[in-house]
Structure 1
Amino acid sequence: MPQDRKIKLAAYLVGSGMHVSSWRHKTSNPKASIDIDELTKQAKIAEIGKFDIAFVADSLAINHESHPQILNRFDPIVLITALAAATTKIGLGATASTTYSEPYTLARQFSSVDHISNGRAAWNVVTTADATGQTALNFSREKHWEHDHRYERAEEFVDVVQGLWDSWEDNAFVYNKETGQFFNPEKVHELHYKGEYFSVKGPLNIARSIQGQPVIIQAGASIPGQRLAARTAEVVFTHWDNIEQSKQFYKKLKSQLKDFDRSEDELHIFHGISPIIGETEEIALKKYEALQNLIDPYESLKFVSGYMGNVDFSKYTLNTPAKEVDFPEVNSIQSQFNEMKKIIDEEDLKVGDLYTRFFGAAKRDAFIGTPTQVANEIESWFTEKAADGFMIQFPLLPSGLQDFVNLVVPILQERGLYRLDYEGETLRDHLGLKKPRNRFVTEESYKSKA
């Protein structure tokens, strides 16, 4: 393992926690998903822990049967703008859809946050998973586009956004009060993009940011999703059932980078985990059980339904073999649906087992235990190249995050696996990513300025 390879961490900010019943816990703030003081507190704790990214997910429609935190949440770009003012180092990632947005508007929004945060912004590119089809109805459409159609549009969308981010060369704005020259006209470029889905002239009406472009995050594991990630992503979020599957995906995705003249260190793979930490293993298990005891079985199944074709689980008893459930084809997170269906076909699961089996925040695994046990498991996944880092979806917030920062981070630091301090000022600095070369600047000119 290279000496300079360090674990990367992202904190998933989701109100009171990722567990479906976290809002009912005696210590939780049920309004945390729209409490800016609470979310700011969480981002600051993650920054104390030297996390690379504080991450905010999104949904563009509500499913009355989904995770409670999804029903009541801030717009993520607005939220990370507020968090930018409250933090100084940590990267700030927000989700935005390529299916229900316009490239020019989104490019301007993320570039604005990148300036406000002094180069700490990241865009989580999603095509929007929607098993119920409700989102389309909020955007003057009758139907949610099919999976591969969404990815075709996403390919163009990312190209347009990144082209717009390069509208202005570095130092294009000269602000010369003596001559009256505000900008150098030779350093501004119109995009003139014309494709199947978009026609965008440009330029963008904001300067290039200090890190060149916001970092691109992606989470698709389907074939089209992997292609988009290999071509454009710099961080990929994954969630696999076990370390062997994760190692296979890691190797497969990294091997595709060469098709786009990219090296393996230009893309970091973050595996999703949901640690629960206790001074002893018994205490950690008691924390886990306290959350599990708050679950309403059928309420938790509504959460599963959103990933499996909006199934009506209410017509099944909890003891019904999961193989007997009628799962329709799903136009949502295709890779996750396929993986879940494969497990159902292979394992003797009951309907009442599904939430605990599939979702990390409710799943009893090796990331529930003492600080040393959790650190050991993280080290194993990292050193065996199942992941470059971890997207941590804490079951209960902010206590789970505080425990991780206080108890696990020091162990990883002592082992030389994790940073002692931030390496620079921008998110690209933290992740060890180079500032992208402006596409309108010749390579020779770029090298002469480097």
Structure 2
Amino acid sequence: MTHQTHRTDRTGQLKLNAMLNGGGSHVAGWRHPDSHPHGTHDFAHWRRLAQTAERGKFDAIFIADVVATQGSHIDSLRRSARAETFEPLTLLAALAAVTERIGLIATATTTYNAPYHLARKFASLDHLSGGRAGWNLVTSVVPDEAANFGDAPHLAHADRYACADEFQRVVAGLWDSWEDDAFIEDKAAGLHFDHEKLHVLNHRGPHFSVRGPLNVSRPPQGHPVLVQAGSSEAGRELAARCAEVIFTSQHRLDDARTFYADVKDRMRRWGRDPDHLKILPGIVPIVGASEAEAREKLNALQALIDPVLGLRLLADNAGDFDLSGYPLDGPLPDLPPSNRSKSRQQLIVDLARRENLTIRQLYERFASAGIVTGTPKTIADHFEAWFRASGADGFNVAFAWQPGGLDDFVDLVIPELQRRGLFRTEYEGPTLRDQLGLPRPPFVRPATSVRGDQAPPVDGRSV
């Protein structure tokens, strides 16, 4: 770890994403008296959230996603607001039309998608939004997703990341199918594009064979911003190689600083500038006029957790290990290795052992994981402390219930951060890369590509 990585006199400004979902991030948020009753499927509600986040000058909207209902255990699922959600790229395309500057980040899995589909969709979103798209690359931690895509079992963790690495390379190559000025649109000559600036990918690898080219011109940002949401060994290495934003779960500053230093040092080994990756831990602020009021808001939410849902929440995040046969007021048993999120399972085990928590205390604690309560000043203090100590470049900010949690943050905390010079008062430019301070990737001809007029024919026809 270098001194530069752990400096405490750091200057600059925070990067903030607004992590939105219809019912709120807390498992009982949808039951809050001020939560929108139909928030998961009411576009007017989503439009209001997006426009509020843009009014707060957030870098981007961030939408997580799972390509399955979030849980197959009906007794717990029916007690949550997680059985339905919009497909995020469709939703963000609609929100692009009712916002102007805020970035639009969607989660899309490499495990249950095809590279050509995702390259085309994110390139289209980038064009439609004027350069505001971001792709949150995930490898699917939920085994229930596998059943929606055939009879094959859910891939093992290492296999998912090997597939994801190749997937990302293919998508990047497809985004570089066309040079930036390929489409000349010369009406007089009757030429729509310059064929010498078309490059056919011709990728053949262990997981994918993709000919190309992409039938969308190069995105306004060159490539949409690449976000990565894994904290395992494989996830960190993938992020260090190619990601530009990391969404991670870190709840203690010491752990966050260690993670931050590790990933930034890995970037140096890949020959990358550490400033070209923004590390954003998740956080859920609950704001009150006093510390006591903020704590009362949290306690009221915690009281709304149904024990059936709380126990299932813990099991899902502990590696899909069924804990219902163990005493709720007894200790967490030893857990078998997880084929879901290894980093999340380890976080839970470490917390239980460190604080000697019972299963009941653990699921109550887990339901409030990432929540910080306080006044606008003390929440801003928390943000500033982590930023100055190089535990984060900013935060992925979620809201326990919506729209009230977002409204409180924009109206009360954002002005305090701006007063300290820690956050922007105006957007820096039209694209998401402008807001994040990221360079636009230059066109790079893919290593396996051939020029458009030299591509091998398919069924007797060339490109």
Please say if 1:54 is aligned against 2:97.
no
Please say if 1:64 is aligned against 2:72.
yes
Cα deviation, 1:250-290, whole Å, max 9, x if unaligned, reads: 00100011122111110000011110001111221121111
- Using the alignment, how far apart are the partners of 1:293 and 1:179 within structure 2? 71
Which segment is superposed worse, 297-306 or 433-442? Answer: 433-442
What displacement does 1:193 show?
1.0
- Segments of structure 1 that go 5 or more residues without pairing to the other structure are 443-450
Aligned length: 434
Within 5 Å, which residues of 2 pair with 1:167-246? Answer: 167-246=177-256
What displacement does 1:37 show?
1.1
Asked if 2 retains the 8 angstrom alpha-carbon contact of 1:92 and 1:121, the reply is yes
Cα deviation, 1:268-327, whole Å, max 9, x if unaligned, reads: 0001111000111122112111111111122112111111132333333421222xx353
- Using the alignment, how far apart are the partners of 1:85 and 1:192 within structure 2? 35
- Using the alignment, how far apart are the partners of 1:363 and 1:126 within structure 2? 21
Task: Specify the alignment match of 1:428 in structure 2.
Answer: 433
- Aligned with 1:314: secondary structure? coil
What displacement does 1:343 show?
2.3
Note the aligned Cα RMSD (angstroms): 1.6
Task: Specify the alignment match of 1:375 in structure 2.
Answer: 380
- Using the alignment, how far apart are the partners of 1:393 and 1:187 within structure 2? 43
Which residue identity does 1:100 align to in structure 2?
A: Y
What displacement does 1:179 show?
1.4
Task: Specify the alignment match of 2:50 in structure 1.
Answer: 43
Task: Specify the alignment match of 2:450 in structure 1.
Answer: none
Asked if 2 retains the 8 angstrom alpha-carbon contact of 1:298 and 1:313, the reply is no
- Using the alignment, how far apart are the partners of 2:268 and 2:133 within structure 1? 26
Within 5 Å, which residues of 2 pair with 1:91-102? Answer: 91-102=103-114
- Using the alignment, how far apart are the partners of 1:123 and 1:317 within structure 2? 42
What is the aligned counterpart of 2:27 among 4, 9, 20? Answer: 20
Cα deviation, 1:219-278, whole Å, max 9, x if unaligned, reads: 111111111000010000111130000000000100011122111110000011110001
- Aligned with 1:176: secondary structure? coil
- Aligned with 2:116: secondary structure? helix
Asked if 1 retains the 8 angstrom alpha-carbon contact of 2:283 and 2:370, the reply is no
Within 5 Å, which residues of 2 pair with 1:400-439? Answer: 400-439=405-444
- Using the alignment, how far apart are the partners of 2:211 and 2:121 within structure 1? 17
Change (3 A) 1:151 1:441: closer
- Aligned with 1:93: secondary structure? strand
Asked if 2 retains the 8 angstrom alpha-carbon contact of 1:298 and 1:314, the reply is no
Task: Specify the alignment match of 1:352 in structure 2.
Answer: 360
Within 5 Å, which residues of 2 pair with 1:376-395? Answer: 376-395=381-400
What is the aligned counterpart of 1:341 among 343, 346, 349? Answer: 349
Change (3 A) 1:214 1:377: same
Cα deviation, 1:354-381, whole Å, max 9, x if unaligned, reads: 223234xx2486x201000100111000
Task: Specify the alignment match of 1:332 in structure 2.
Answer: 340
- Using the alignment, how far apart are the partners of 2:320 and 2:363 within structure 1? 14
Which residue identity does 2:301 align to in structure 1?
A: L
What displacement does 1:2 show?
5.7
What displacement does 1:160 show?
0.2
Which residue identity does 1:277 align to in structure 2?
A: V
Cα deviation, 1:158-184, whole Å, max 9, x if unaligned, reads: 000000001111121111112111111
Which segment is superposed worse, 210-219 or 57-66? Answer: 57-66
Task: Specify the alignment match of 1:283 in structure 2.
Answer: 293
Cα deviation, 1:181-234, whole Å, max 9, x if unaligned, reads: 111111111111111111111110011121111000001111111110000100
- Using the alignment, how far apart are the partners of 1:282 and 1:414 within structure 2? 24
Asked if 1 retains the 8 angstrom alpha-carbon contact of 2:282 and 2:370, the reply is no
What is the aligned counterpart of 1:90 among 102, 108, 115? Answer: 102
Which residue identity does 2:113 align to in structure 1?
A: S
Normalised by the size of structure 2, how large is the TM-score? 0.91
Normalised by the size of structure 1, how large is the TM-score? 0.93
- Using the alignment, how far apart are the partners of 1:364 and 1:111 within structure 2? 33
Change (3 A) 1:72 1:332: same
- Using the alignment, how far apart are the partners of 1:36 and 1:64 within structure 2? 26
- Using the alignment, how far apart are the partners of 1:69 and 1:213 within structure 2? 34
- Using the alignment, how far apart are the partners of 2:370 and 2:196 within structure 1? 59
Change (3 A) 1:7 1:364: closer
- Using the alignment, how far apart are the partners of 1:260 and 1:292 within structure 2? 44
- Using the alignment, how far apart are the partners of 1:364 and 1:44 within structure 2? 24
Asked if 1 retains the 8 angstrom alpha-carbon contact of 2:176 and 2:446, the reply is no
Report percent identity of matched pairs.
Answer: 44
Which residue identity does 2:59 align to in structure 1?
A: D
Within 5 Å, which residues of 2 pair with 1:143-182? Answer: 143-182=153-192
What is the aligned counterpart of 1:318 among 318, 328, 331? Answer: 328
Cα deviation, 1:95-131, whole Å, max 9, x if unaligned, reads: 111111000011000100110110000000000002x
- Using the alignment, how far apart are the partners of 2:146 and 2:298 within structure 1? 37
What is the aligned counterpart of 1:270 among 268, 280, 289? Answer: 280
What displacement does 1:336 show?
1.2
- Using the alignment, how far apart are the partners of 2:166 and 2:361 within structure 1? 41
Within 5 Å, which residues of 2 pair with 1:248-259? Answer: 248-259=258-269
Asked if 1 retains the 8 angstrom alpha-carbon contact of 2:184 and 2:193, the reply is yes
Which residue identity does 1:344 align to in structure 2?
A: A
- Using the alignment, how far apart are the partners of 1:441 and 1:145 within structure 2? 28
Asked if 2 retains the 8 angstrom alpha-carbon contact of 1:272 and 1:390, the reply is yes
- Aligned with 1:270: secondary structure? strand
What displacement does 1:346 show?
3.1
